[in-house]
Amino acid sequence: MASLSLALFTYRFKKDPSVKKSLKIFVKTYGCQMNERDSEMISSQLQCAGHELTDNEKIADVVILNTCSVREQAEIKALGKAGYLVRRKRTNPNFKIGIVGCMAENLGEKLFKLNGAIDFVIGPKRLHELADVLEDHRRSLYIGDPKKQHLPNDFDRKLEKNKCTAFLSIMHGCNMRCSYCVVPRTRGNEQYRPMEDIVEEAKFLAANGIREITLLGQIVNNYGGRLMPMLDDKTPFVQLLERLDRLPGIERIRYMSPHPQNFSDDLILAHKNLSKLCPSVHLPIQSGSNRILAAMKRPYTSEKILTIVEKLRRAVPNVGISTDIIVGYPGETEEDFKETVSLFDTAKFNMAFIFKYSPREGTKSAELIDDVEESEKERRNQILLQRVQEASLRYHQRFLGKTVEVLVEGHARRGADTMFGWTPNHCKVLFKASENDIGKNFPIQIDSSTTTILWGTMAGNAQGRDLLQR
């Protein structure tokens, strides 16, 4: 656990003239937002090293799969893709396949046995070495060394055109040891980026057209841990939010994911007081049964979840609250499951990701018998999914006929003139607008809704406000 200063944190995009051969590289991303951010970082790094990125896999000299290990299915998917790519090697012996990210760290050398055509394997802690690995013609394995502290990969940032939202990593790794979770194994212990670096990066993003930032961390509200002091009873995370809230150009701040354990009153107050902090919280509960939560080593109860949700709703009316739930954890009875459904209903979450428990080698719960039958996991999954759809629809319906603020993000793939954006409380809205409106904020009147989308029209003679000029 440490706070690191990143001397290399420049955001500049420079081409290195010493590069010998420029390769066409295709990067495919699996998994969570951390991986998306890592893929952006890899892409900038490779361009800095003189390579070219392509979105056409078929013409690539190198395909890099940035993988996830959180559930078995995620690994199976990426391994299947790597297996499919092997045939390219038969026609082009110079073609390279790289596995990077969490599965690289998790399976390490085993990957070469599973697929003899893989050229390199690089874990998340060593992704900053990727450009060098490409120069190497031997098969390479670069995973974390437990005795060393590896630098997180936050330097060199190049932004795509027409983008107004961005992820911003504030920390790496996780100190929790939830019994089912592989993430501490793949990403190591918590490391916090210095607050100054994060604020500088946010300024850079604002100056380059970014209007909405999402702060990323496995447990964002642990930011700073015991290494950064409390100030005026405020946690380092809230201190950071306050500083970002004052930055001109940045209009919206989101974060994910917080942990219920440290969801303190200063954070709830921040939602009330900071005008740019969006009224939307993703609060993973995993289960509503206190018995299962204890078995999972999640140090809170369903009562604590209800208290947080109540306080948030009191502080921020219309706040959107979503969650993650695992069904079929070893020993989960029908009674436990009913308690989860009951907590989901009582807390009135408006969205949730439901996962069927998947034992992960090396975790504590993998030592237990995975005793909930697949068909039973699926039944519980379906029951909750039905609840989630009803809850999303109900939440969406409260906006019918109302005017909401939408930040236009891009084309909605429903015809050239249909654009999409999100409300502050994280509802996706589709409406007629043009590409010139990207990055602007419009009042949109909501005409209809589905479980996943709100449809709307620009309200009155609304002119898009370029938020930079506000």
The site for ligand F3S (CB under 6 A) is made up of: 31-32, 34-35, 68-70, 101-102, 182-183, 186-187
Q: Do 150 and 129 form a contact (C-beta atoms < 8 A)?
A: no
At residue 469, the 3 state secondary structure works out as: helix
Alpha-helical runs (H) found in 246-397: 265-273, 290-296, 302-315, 334-347, 374-397
DSSP string, 247-261: -TT--EEEEE---GG
Helix, strand, coil percentages in the chain from 3-state DSSP, rounded to 5 = 35, 20, 40
Does 34 contact ligand SF4 by CB under 6 A? no
Please state the closest distance from residue 184 (CB atom) to ligand SF4, in A. Answer: 5
Does 181 contact ligand SAH by CB under 6 A? yes
Does 204 contact ligand SAH by CB under 6 A? no
Q: Do 100 and 130 form a contact (C-beta atoms < 8 A)?
A: yes
201: CB partners within 8 A, 6+ apart: 9, 11, 154, 157, 168
Candidates 184, 224, 320, 424; binder of ligand SF4 (CB under 6 A) is 184
Does 241 contact ligand SF4 by CB under 6 A? no
Max CA pair span of the chain: 64
Does 354 contact ligand SF4 by CB under 6 A? no
Residue of 319, 318, 389, 377 lying closest to 353 (CA atoms): 389
Q: Residues 252 to 291: which contact ligand SAH by CB under 6 A?
A: 257, 259, 284, 286
Q: Residue count at the site for ligand SF4 (CB under 6 A)?
A: 9
Between 53 and 176, name the residue whose CB sits nearer to ligand SAH.
Answer: 176
DSSP string, 65-98: EEE--SSHHHHHHHHHHHHHHHHHHHH-TT-EEE
Q: Residues 103 to 122: which contact ligand SF4 by CB under 6 A?
A: none
Between 70 and 85, name the residue whose CB sits nearer to ligand SAH.
Answer: 70
Candidates 41, 134, 166, 174; binder of ligand SF4 (CB under 6 A) is 174
Q: Which does 235 bind (CB under 5 to 8 A by kind): ligand SAH, ligand F3S, ligand SF4, none?
A: none
Q: Which does 326 bind (CB under 5 to 8 A by kind): ligand SAH, ligand F3S, ligand SF4, none?
A: ligand SAH
Residue of 366, 5, 34, 373 lying closest to 220 (CA atoms): 34
Q: Residues 326 to 355: which contact ligand SAH by CB under 6 A?
A: 326, 355
Does 183 contact ligand SF4 by CB under 6 A? yes
Beta-sheet strands, E only, within 41-185: 52-53, 62-67, 96-101, 120-122, 140-142, 165-169, 171-172
Residue of 137, 130, 136, 144 lying closest to 102 (CA atoms): 144
Q: Residues 251 to 270: which contact ligand SF4 by CB under 6 A?
A: 259
Between 4 and 176, name the residue whose CB sits nearer to ligand SF4.
Answer: 176
**C-alpha 241: how far from its chain's center?**
18
Cα(323)–Cα(350) distance, integer angstroms? 9
Task: Return the residue matching tokens 């700073």.
Answer: 224
Residue of 424, 415, 408, 412 lying closest to 458 (CA atoms): 408
DSSP H or E segment with residue 204: helix 195-207
Between 200 and 324, name the residue whose CB sits nearer to ligand SAH.
Answer: 324
Please state the closest distance from residue 169 (CB atom) to ligand SF4, in A. Answer: 14
Q: Residues 196 to 235: which contact ligand SF4 by CB under 6 A?
A: 218-219
Does 176 contact ligand SF4 by CB under 6 A? yes
Q: Residues 54 to 73: which contact ligand SAH by CB under 6 A?
A: 70-71
Between 164 and 183, name the residue whose CB sits nearer to ligand SAH.
Answer: 183
Q: Which does 69 bind (CB under 5 to 8 A by kind): ligand SAH, ligand F3S, ligand SF4, none?
A: ligand F3S
Q: Which does 184 bind (CB under 5 to 8 A by kind): ligand SAH, ligand SF4, ligand F3S, none?
A: ligand SF4
Between 32 and 268, name the residue whose CB sits nearer to ligand F3S.
Answer: 32
341: CB partners within 8 A, 6+ apart: 288, 383, 384, 387
| Alpha-carbon dihedral 9, 13, 15, 21, rounded to 10 degrees | 90
Please state the closest distance from residue 71 (CB atom) to ligand SF4, in A. Answer: 12
Summarize as ranges the residues that interact with ligand SAH (CB under 6 A).
70-71, 180-181, 183, 218-219, 257, 259, 284, 286, 324, 326, 355, 357-358, 360
Residues engaged in binding ligand SF4 (CB under 6 A): 174, 176, 178, 181, 183-184, 218-219, 259
